[in-house]
Amino acid sequence: MNALEIEDITKKFGDFYAVKDLSLKIPQQTIFGLLGPNGAGKTTTIRMVMNIIIPDKGSIRVLDKKMDEAMKERIGYLPEDRGLYPKMKVGEHLYFLSELKGLKGQEARKRIDLWLERFDLTDWKLKKVEELSRGMQQKIQFIATVIHDPELIILDEPFSGLDPVNTKLFKDIMLEMKKNGRTIIFSTHRMEQVEMICDNICLINKAKMVLEGNLSHIKKQYGKNSVVLDYDGDASFIQSLPEIEKIDDYGKFMEIKLKEQTDPQELLNTLVGKIRITKFEVMEPTLNAIFIEKVGEKDAKDTLSH
Amino acid sequence: MQKILSVIKREYIQIIRTKGFIIGTILGPVLMAAFIVVPVVVQFISVDQQEKIGIIDETGEIFMDLEQKLDQKLKEGSRRYLLISYQLKDDVEALREDLNQKVLRKELSAYIYIPADISGGGEAEFVSEHVSDFDKRGNFNRALSSIVIEKRLRGEGLDPLKISEYTRPVVLVTKKVTKRGVERDTGGTFIISYFLVLVLYMTLLFYGQIILRGVIEEKSSRVVEVVLSSLTPFQLMAGKIVGIAAVGFTQYAIWALFGIVASQYSKKLITGFFPAAASFTMPSIPAYILVYFVLFFILGYFLYATMYAAIGSMVNSEKEAQQLIMPVVMFLVVPILLMMFVIKSPDSTFSVVLSMIPFFAPILMLLRICVLLPPFSQIAGSIILLVLSIVLMIWLVAKIYRVGILMYGKRPSFGEILKWIRYS
């Protein structure tokens, strides 16, 4: 069974296509990465899944049923534009949000206490939301997203603004939920996070899907003709070498895509003596490189440097 | 429905808890009561002291009568004004100078100079350090006048009692004729109409503002989409509007309770001091007017609340909202401006037409009902029009709200809003 099936949805705002002819299938008990540059249509897609925006055409099935309001109780959604009522106390705010998901009474209170403890926020339960730091508020929002133990969890840019410790905490919980049979969809433009935890990905650009599938299959498909090089010295001459197809130079290291049928060994030979090499690794292309190739240099730079 | 209830509960509890609500609800009536009670109490405590008043009576005939007329008593039973007659000596000016000094030394609180030709139009004088006590001066003036007038009448051989009998003013009683018969009206109709309409106007304005602020807060704190992951924009809007209506009813209930207690108590208080006031009846509000008041409050509230919610969803800050609010506020202000006209001629064509326009109906139809119960067909007509426009407004606003609450940044133009209505 698929946790989510999107078929041929389109949404137009005026003359502008936010999403065009998008289809997706997301199997249950997987972590799915929804990737794409800013303005590609990720948030609009997610909002259509959540029934917040109505698609102009196409159909959406969630957990094997047509999406409707009742389904919202089985989904946890952390929007990109997220916030809390500043004047409410943390405890009562979480209770309010879980009540909206149909979870109330003793059970709700028990779960709120457990989650606050896990996020080390027990002492803040009776404080007003406005007294919390942004990071703490984000943890509260995350708790609200999963408090009702949803079968499908949709997280729009869940890690933005989080410190590394909490990023790891979020990630651990996501993996744990997957182990418990839950399905997680999250959007991001931080590729290293995707590589670490995603099973499947989909890349959207300019309202359209440009790449979809199992992450390791996609990487294999791109072949083992990439080289990651860590170096010291002036490496600008590499650009003009005949065996090079493309270079992403980051100053201290570069990712090099070789032309087909080129032996990476030849490149190594050429480089020796000209620059100091601290690492030379032949590998599948990183998701970063695939992203750049698919989306185009300019769009990708805007997004990845964001 | 369960979800709307949760939203209603949240709105209600959050607002009831604010300082603004507590202060507005409790302090409002306390202040109003203070305006009534404090002057009475002040009057009660300020005058309990005997005063010595000197009298220079050049006629030699008035002092005795004056002492008889000014017989107000203090609480313990002694005279309030102790009148001391000063015998006229040769030099009137020297005597007056002497009394001036006595007043300054506080041996006398005042003295009155009565000239010999007072009956022929001579001016009496009241001399004191404190000349702003209108109450005291009035007492003396009335006593002196009636004595002098009696003297003049007697001088002409007329009987003062008969004269006052002949010159008694005519009483004009105002009565209001309604379907249920003829009732005596003591000006209460006017006061009640004015009061009810102003309360309606102010609460519509006040609660509209609360809704506006609530929607803007939800937008600016970015909590909207979090909430929308559980319910529809329409449910959120409906919950907010109903929740705040519940706050309004709570406030009304507290005020009404306060009013009932206060009117019971204040009547006791007032008649305690002025036994004459016992015959005065507080204007009571007929039950049917209260029913219409509640009905028009509910209808008016829903009409205006939806408009305020729509405006809140279109803007990013309260400052931005102020411009858009203007036309809505105008709809509320216009009937207040036309109030006097409608009170004067409640059944003129102009009044009838105005009171049928949905935006004005809550205030103007209620006013007409207070002043002169219009034909039921007109009341029903305005209610039907009002309900229809509320339904239309909710349909329209739900579309604007649905798009608006997720829009940040530039305020939408009128054209864009039309687009929202068409697309969603």
Looking at residue B179, what is its pLDDT? 65
Q: Which of B220, B230, B236 to mutate to test the interface with A (most CBs of A within 10 A)?
A: B230
Which residue range is the domain that position B383 belongs to?
A: 184-423
Least confident of A116-130, B36-50, B156-170, B374-388: B36-50
Q: State what percent of residues in chain A have pLDDT above 70.
A: 97
* Mean pLDDT value of segment A266-289: 84
Number of domains in chain B: 2
Q: Mean pLDDT of all residues in chain B?
A: 83
DSSP letters, chain A, are -EEEEEEEEEEEETTEEEEEEEEEEEETT-EEEEE--TTSSHHHHHHHHTTSS--SEEEEEETTEE--GGGGGGEEEE-SS----TTSBHHHHHHHHHHHTT--HHHHHHHHHHHHHHTT-GGGTTSBGGGS-HHHHHHHHHHHHHTT--SEEEEESTTTT--HHHHHHHHHHHHHHHHTT-EEEEEES-HHHHHHH-SEEEEEETTEEEEEEEHHHHHHHT-S-EEEEEEES--GGGGG-TTEEEEEE-SSEEEEEEPTT--HHHHHHHHBTTBEEEEEEEEPPPHHHHHHHHH-HHHHHHHHT-
Q: State what percent of residues in chain B have pLDDT above 70.
A: 87
Measured torsion, CA atoms of residues A136, A140, A142, A143, in degrees rounded to the nearest 10: 140
Among the candidates B134, B166, B198, a domain finishes at: B166
Looking at residue A138, what is its pLDDT? 93
- Nearest Cα residue to B139 out of B58, B53, B216, B203: B53
Among the candidates B166, B194, B227, a domain finishes at: B166
Question: B231: which chain A residues are within 8 Å (Cβ-Cβ)?
Answer: 69, 72, 100
Q: Judge whether residue A143 has pLDDT over 90.
A: yes
CATH code of residue B140: 3.40.190
* Mean pLDDT value of segment A282-287: 81
Nearest to B228 among A52, A83, A88 (CB): A52
Please give the C-alpha separations between residue B185 and each of A236, B176, B263, in angstroms, as whole numbers. Answer: 101, 6, 19
Looking at residue B303, what is its pLDDT? 94
**Is residue B29 in some structural domain?**
no
Helix (H) or strand (E) holding B358: none
pLDDT band, residue B200 (cuts 50/70/90): confident
First vs last C-alpha separation in chain B: 23
Residue type for position B185: D
Looking at residue A293, what is its pLDDT? 79
B218 plus B346 within the same structural domain: yes
Please give the C-alpha separations between residue A301 and each of A84, A194, A293, B91, B238, in angstroms, as whole numbers. Answer: 32, 18, 11, 112, 44
* Mean pLDDT value of segment B115-135: 82
Among the candidates B166, B194, B211, a domain finishes at: B166
CA dist A259 and A244 (Å) reads 6
pLDDT band, residue B83 (cuts 50/70/90): confident
Q: State what percent of residues in chain B have pLDDT above 90.
A: 21
Put simply, the answer to whether A82 touches B231 (Cβ < 8 Å) is: no
Q: Judge whether residue B107 has pLDDT over 90.
A: no
Looking at residue B374, what is its pLDDT? 86
DSSP letters, B376-394, are HHHHHHHHHHHHHHHHHHH
B134 plus B216 within the same structural domain: no
B256 plus B362 within the same structural domain: yes
Q: Residue B415's closest chain A neighbor by CA?
A: A14
First vs last C-alpha separation in chain A: 36
Looking at residue A239, what is its pLDDT? 80
Chain A interface residues facing chain B, Cβ-Cβ under 8 Å? 13-14, 47, 50-54, 69, 72-73, 75-79, 81-88, 96-97, 99-102, 141, 144-145
B80 plus B192 within the same structural domain: no
Looking at residue A259, what is its pLDDT? 81
Q: Are A12 and A60 in contact (CB under 8 A)?
A: no
Chain B interface residues facing chain A, Cβ-Cβ under 8 Å? 2-3, 6-7, 10, 14, 217-218, 221-233, 406, 408, 419, 423-424
Count of pairs with CB atoms under 8 A, one residue in A, one in B: 70
pLDDT band, residue B186 (cuts 50/70/90): low
Looking at residue B116, what is its pLDDT? 84
* Mean pLDDT value of segment B386-403: 89
B317 plus B400 within the same structural domain: yes
The first and second tokens of residue B172, run together, are 């004009």
* Mean pLDDT value of segment B199-208: 88
- ipTM at complex level: 0.81
The first and second tokens of residue B293, run together, are 């008041």
The first and second tokens of residue B98, run together, are 């002497």
Which residues does B413 contact at the CB level (< 8 Å), separation at least 6? none
Looking at residue B271, what is its pLDDT? 63
CA dist B310 and B240 (Å) reads 12
What would the pLDDT profile of B4-27 be if each residue is shown by its tens digit? 999 999 999 999 988 888 888 887
Residue type for position A298: K
Between β-strands B181-184 and B81-85, what pairing exists: parallel, antiparallel or unpaired?
A: unpaired
CA dist A264 and A284 (Å) reads 13
CA dist B148 and A251 (Å) reads 114
Angle at CA of residue A200, ends A199 and A204, nearest 5°: 145
Looking at residue A127, what is its pLDDT? 94
Which residues does A53 contact at the CB level (< 8 Å), separation at least 6? A11, A44, A47, B406
Q: Judge whether residue B194 has pLDDT over 90.
A: no
Q: State what percent of residues in chain A have pLDDT above 90.
A: 46
Q: Judge whether residue B163 has pLDDT over 90.
A: no
Question: A14: which chain B residues are within 8 Å (Cβ-Cβ)?
Answer: 419
Question: A88: which chain B residues are within 8 Å (Cβ-Cβ)?
Answer: 10, 14
**Is residue B18 in some structural domain?**
no
**Is residue B343 in some structural domain?**
yes
Sign (positive or negative) of CA dihedral B5, B11, B12, B13: positive
B140 plus B278 within the same structural domain: no
* Mean pLDDT value of segment B370-395: 90
Between β-strands B181-184 and B175-178, what pairing exists: parallel, antiparallel or unpaired?
A: antiparallel
Q: Whose structure tokens read 């032949």?
A: A282
The first and second tokens of residue B5, run together, are 């209830």
Looking at residue A231, what is its pLDDT? 87
B246 plus B357 within the same structural domain: yes
**Is residue B32 in some structural domain?**
no
Q: Mean pLDDT of all residues in chain A?
A: 88
- Nearest Cα residue to A141 out of B139, B241, B223: B223
User: Chain B: nearest CA to A40, how far in angstroms?
Assistant: 17
CA dist A24 and B338 (Å) reads 62
B360 plus B213 within the same structural domain: yes
Looking at residue A144, what is its pLDDT? 95
Residue type for position A170: F
Least confident of A54-58, A81-85, B378-382, B420-424: B420-424
User: Chain A: nearest CA to B222, how far in angstroms?
Assistant: 4
**Is residue B171 in some structural domain?**
no
B149 plus B213 within the same structural domain: no
* Mean pLDDT value of segment B55-68: 85
What would the pLDDT profile of A18-45 be if each residue is shown by its tens digit? 999 999 999 999 999 999 888 888 999 9
pLDDT band, residue B216 (cuts 50/70/90): very high
Between β-strands A200-205 and A31-35, what pairing exists: parallel, antiparallel or unpaired?
A: parallel
CA dist A98 and A281 (Å) reads 49
Put simply, the answer to whether A82 touches B423 (Cβ < 8 Å) is: no
Least confident of A122-126, B100-104, B136-140, B283-287: B283-287
B296 plus B341 within the same structural domain: yes
**Is residue B177 in some structural domain?**
no
Looking at residue B33, what is its pLDDT? 67
**Is residue B26 in some structural domain?**
no
B160 plus B206 within the same structural domain: no
Looking at residue A19, what is its pLDDT? 92
Looking at residue B128, what is its pLDDT? 86
Looking at residue A275, what is its pLDDT? 86
Least confident of A56-70, A181-195, A209-223, B264-278: B264-278
**Is residue B261 in some structural domain?**
yes
Question: B424: which chain A residues are within 8 Å (Cβ-Cβ)?
Answer: 54
* Mean pLDDT value of segment A184-210: 87
* Mean pLDDT value of segment A240-263: 82
Q: Judge whether residue B279 has pLDDT over 60.
A: no
Looking at residue A132, what is its pLDDT? 93
What would the pLDDT profile of B219-263 be if each residue is shown by its tens digit? 988 899 899 999 988 999 999 999 999 998 998 888 888 777 767
Helix (H) or strand (E) holding B176: strand B175-178
Looking at residue A137, what is its pLDDT? 93
B195 plus B75 within the same structural domain: no
